[in-house]
Chain A
Amino acid sequence: MTDLSLKMLHRFYEQLWQIRFFEGHVQRLAASGEVPGFPHLSTGQEAVAVGVCANLTEGDMLFSGHRAHGHVLAKGSDPYATFCEVIGRQDGLCQGRGGSMHLVDVSTGMLGATGVVAGNLSLAAGAAWAAQVANKEKIAVVFFGDGATGSGVFHETLNLAGLWQLPLLFVCENNGMAEFTGREEHSDVAKVSAFAAPYGISAQTIDGNDVLVVNAAARSAIQGIRAGSGPYLLECMTYRMAGHYVGDAQHYRSKEEMATMKEKDPIERLRLHLLAKGDSAEELEAIMQRVKAEMTAVVDRARKAAHPDPATVMDYVYSADFPGREENAKWN
């Protein structure tokens, strides 16, 4: 864990702030009504995205869910196109068709974010299987919340992954909450990692708010998967510093809980680590300020981007070779 270069650590620090500022803008603009819908922020959970994605190559395939901003950015998507998508603009990753919950960027291997809890799991199994049959080195990674473990398809996919020995990394971001209620109200199984063993899958529960811990655990899991040792489940214990969605008043959280947030903050934890390693506070402040300025510029630009042209609304229902495509556009 200590073998990371300072350059790498600074890169983590930058990426954490990039996601934090990105979502800070989402939150600010959602509060004023400029970001439509109910965006879900990963604030406080960024270390999982950064620590896992640091170990992926461009060819590796990613699936995520409703809280995907951090994953998409960490996998390498352009922040401008990502922000444009979140505000539904033509320059967005999906030309404004998808929005915050449905971010897709095939160019980076971000194959799909779904707004349907657990809807991504078996897709990732399929992607992993495709890589396996094509004899590719590629792996698939799927991010999901602890809430997804309540669904049958989670268990079905674990079974498939074990049975077929798929090159698939399950990353559970266990923030202890599903919407407004805690895990203990949803399941008597305290640890998500406990679900893996019955299916013959290796698993580990780790501190998901320490990017160094996440990086190290992801690296060893991914090395194993690449070496052909089958699927792996990584349960990252983390903490959602924001509400379930922007606008959530979080009545279910006590003042005491809110007060301890800073100690859990993965950015603050990395900062303390870097200071202990000899970085100066000014140096780290400068990194943060630079990322902040970059993100502000990105968001300013995105806010000026054009909205999709209503005349194009029937585009993409079917791909170009669908025989009924013209009929579909004309008939409607």
Chain B
Amino acid sequence: MKITFAEGLAQAIYEAMAADSRVVLIGSSFMGLNMTARKLMEPAVRDYSDRMLVTPISELALAGAGIGAAMCGQRPVVDLGTGSFIFQAFAQVVNEAANIHYMSGGQSKAPVTFYCLAGMRGMGAAQHSHRTQAMLGQVPGLQILTPGGADDAYQLMKWSLLKSQNPTVFICHSLLFTETSELDPNEPMLPVGRARIRRQGSDVSIIASSITVPRAMAAAELLEKQGIFAEVVDLRTVVPLDRETILKSVAKTGRAVIADECHKSFGVAAEIAATLAEDGLSFLKAPVRRVVVPDVPIPFSQSLEEELTVSTEKIVAAALQVLGR
């Protein structure tokens, strides 16, 4: 069955609400301002509106309420809207949710999901374009899910709502909504913490997550026309990070391009590059290349934003560079 990313999300939310009455949506504009995608939430609104709370603009309190409810057995998902607004909730997410299990010596658990529609969406400008996975990756205790395909949007969301035992930040990219993939709901899910090899290749590994996954796939296609076979590793989750699969892939190809939408310094790509430097140096036939966003706030102007975008073309160029072409 072919589904879109937005369909995968909506279906996962619906099925999770149907399966477990403890799943409560604190805020429910999961699809942002995408009206076509919003329609997909209609079945959930029809059947479970009693578990979908309309919320004031109170991210800090809502996040905390989600944590507290999760500590008491509920399975809430707090919709933080545009991913940048997780900053309003940071104190609760980072300093309460992430710490509670550890600080309580394992007594307490907070299986709450924080949902963020994040990323460079086009003219979101500096205040609506954040990708927070790297900075949140600095917070032990949080799981960070970054699906790049419709299959994982469905599976990871469902897992987060029904199975996860830890606080989770679910980072969605609004430009992914129309991406499609095959999904067999009866097939067992690839375990959380395992990266997905989206495409096999022998010449270069392109390591991607979230929005860079379809762009890496497009890059691999273009490279194949030049006789270059790229392997695309979709991380699926930034925490846990599947270092083993990354290293295995690079051991095979000997070359790595890391495509990520976080800023360059201290980013997700930086962490992967460090892993390769520490444990994969002997595999590398060329220096690692990062295709990432320079350390600059995201400008409003289209011509400026495009300059920063982690595009398919830039991924292709980086692959050619590591191949010495």
Contact = CB atoms under 8 A, between A and B. Distances in A.
Nearest to A118: B57
Contacts of A308: 299, 301, 303-304
B84 interface: yes
Contacts of B295: 317, 328, 331-332
Nearest to A187: B56
B299 A313 contact: yes
Contact of A147 (B56, B61, B296, B302): B56
A301 to B, nearest CB: 18
A185 interface: yes
A245 interface: yes
B201 interface: no
A115 B127 contact: yes
B45 interface: no
B303 A178 contact: no
A158 to B, nearest CB: 16
A314 B296 CA distance: 6
B48 interface: no
Contacts of B84: 116
B154 to A, nearest CB: 26
Contacts of B304: 96-97, 308, 310, 312-313
Interface stretch (A6-14, A75-83, A126-134, A148-156): A148-156
Interface string B280-305: 00000000000000111101111110
B308 interface: yes
B299 A37 contact: no
Interface centre among B35, B56, B123 (most CB of A within 10 A): B56
Contact of A36 (B35, B55, B302, B308): B302
A230 interface: no
Interface string A46-87: 000000000000000000000000000000000000000000
B299 A151 contact: no
A177 to B, nearest CB: 12
Nearest to A38: B33
A193 interface: no
B200 to A, nearest CB: 32
B309 to A, nearest CB: 11
A307 interface: yes
Contacts of B126: 97-98, 102
Contact of A102 (B58, B127, B264, B294): B127
B123 A88 contact: yes
A98 B294 contact: no
A152 B63 CA distance: 13
A151 B87 CA distance: 13
Nearest to B55: A186
Interface in A266-290: none
Contacts of A114: 127
Given A247-B33, A310-B306, A98 B125 contact: yes
A260 interface: no
A117 B84 CA distance: 12
A78 B127 CA distance: 24
Interface string B9-37: 00000000000000000000100010100
Provide the main secondary structure of the chain A interface: loop
A314 B294 contact: yes
Interface string A302-332: 0000011110111001000000000010011
B264 A116 contact: no
B285 to A, nearest CB: 24
A102 B298 CA distance: 12
Contacts of B33: 38, 245, 247
Contacts of A118: 57
Contacts of B265: 331
B294 A36 contact: no
B123 A36 contact: yes
Contacts of B29: 179
Contacts of B57: 117-118, 147-148, 150-151, 178, 186
Given A99-B300, A310-B304, A150 B56 contact: yes
Interface in A145-198: 147-148, 150-152, 178-179, 181, 185-187
B175 interface: no
A212 interface: no
B307 interface: yes
A200 to B, nearest CB: 24
Contacts of A96: 299-301, 303-304
Contacts of A178: 56-57
B269 to A, nearest CB: 13
A97 B301 contact: yes
Contact of B300 (A98, A245, A247): A98
Interface centre among B35, B123, B124, B301 (most CB of A within 10 A): B301
Nearest to A248: B33
25 contacts: A88-B123, A88-B301, A88-B302, A94-B300, A96-B303, A97-B125, A97-B126, A98-B125, A100-B300, A102-B125, A102-B127, A116-B85, A150-B58, A151-B58, A152-B60, A179-B29, A181-B54, A186-B57, A307-B303, A308-B299, A308-B304, A310-B303, A312-B304, A313-B308, A332-B294
Closest 7 CB pairs of A and B: A99-B300, A150-B56, A332-B294, A96-B301, A37-B123, A88-B301, A186-B56
